[in-house]
Amino acid sequence: MTTPAFTYAGSPARIVFGEGTLARVGDEVARLGGTRPIVLATAQQRAAGEALCAQIAGAGLFAEAAMHTPVEVTDRALGYVRERGGDCLVALGGGSTIGLGKAIAYRTDLAQLAVPTTYAGSEATSVLGQSEAGRKTTLRDPKVLPETIVYDVLLTLTLPRALSVTSALNAIAHAVEGLYAHDGNPVTSALAEQGIAALARALPTIAQRHDDRDARSDALFGAWACGTVLGSVAMGLHHKLCHVLGGSFGLPHAETHAVMLPHVVAFNAAAAPDAMARIARALGMPDPATGLANLARQLGAPTQLRALGLAQDAIDHAAELVVASPYRNPREFDRAAIRELLISAY
């Protein structure tokens, strides 16, 4: 089979991957020219942020990162950065914290170093999602891509089982949509399949033994691979749905991805047979939608939008928001199709 013509732009980020790599963050900050770094964290990870500050000379801490990157939180963080004279950013945490770092970098062009503690994958992309006045929007800009990403497997050993599962399913969603992206290519497709396989292989072990280093290493690599796909090609209907449900209805980000993914894969299956074959092969299952649903159930992930707090009478409005500014998708859809899909997931 002849390889089709394609265009691929690789990520320029520096990747530091291994065990105990958190100890190298100070050196990596210096490599970026930082002398007054601002460490970012959520309130729940304040202690970890303080510990990291203690090992980096001149560091300050802002521990108010929040889900869906609210603009008002970014504004407060910008005030702190300016007050401290911060000259680079160190985001320690999951998608919420890394999103805050990106939002600050977008406004200031400060260098960023990301230290992911979940499998969300946002650190590997030049995509920024922000929420304001009940609506979540996204943009893509090279300024928001972290210059350096430090992956420390040891940081994930204590990641709670539920968060491990949902953030990993979130990562798988990036790769799934990358496989049927209109601008996909052989490089990202190979990486997507590899990422899905690594996560699907690791998750059952992590669910049983959360501190299994080999499985955690597989999962973190898989998250990087899936995140790199997300950063390289366009996303489709699944991500649009999750952005609407999270940004406009307050549903938790990773859990929403976990619920919606099997439904969207089933919706797109007939329109993207090559992608479905790759997903099935990576999962080791004959049917990708069923395989993803079974994996979620096996791992105890949420499987209903109702359980996440979505009101049934919100479905019509959600469908309207999705079709108001749709993403490209292999199967065309209208409001009625989206409503039916959401009812199924509800």
Among 84, 126, 135, smallest CA distance to 101 is for: 126
- Please tell me the predicted confidence (pLDDT) of residue 135: 81
Domain boundary among the residues 156, 175, 210 is at 156
pLDDT at 47: 97
Residues 176 and 234 in one domain: yes
48 in a structural domain: yes
Question: What tens digit of pLDDT does each residue of 150-185 get?
Answer: 999 999 999 999 999 999 999 999 999 999 999 999
Same domain membership, residue 180 and residue 320: yes
Predicted confidence band at 328 (pLDDT cuts at 50, 70, 90)? very high
What CATH number does the domain containing 139 carry? 3.40.50.1970
Per-residue confidence (pLDDT) for residue 253, from 0 to 100? 87
How would you list the strands of the sheet with 148-152, edge to edge?
14-18, 148-152, 111-116, 88-93, 37-40, 60-62
Examine the domain organization and report whether 190 and 80 are in the same domain: no
* Same domain (yes/no): 222, 105: no
Answer yes or no: are the C-beta atoms of 239 and 177 closer than 8 Å.
Answer: yes
pLDDT digits (tens, 9 = 90+) for 220-279: 999 999 999 998 999 899 999 998 999 889 899 889 999 999 999 999 999 999 999 999
- With a CB cutoff of 8 Å and minimum separation 6, the contacts of 100 are 40, 65, 66, 69, 73, 74, 77, 91
Tell whether the model's pLDDT for residue 67 goes beyond 60. Answer: yes
Residue 245 has a CB neighbour count (10 Å cut-off) of: 28
Across the chain, what does the average pLDDT equal? 94
Structure confidence by residue, pLDDT tens digits, 182-197:
999 999 999 999 999 9
Q: Is there a single domain that holds both residue 221 and residue 125?
A: no
pTM of the model: 0.90
Partners of 136 in beta bridges: 131
Residue 1 has pLDDT above 70, yes or no: no
In this structure, is residue 235 part of a structural domain? yes
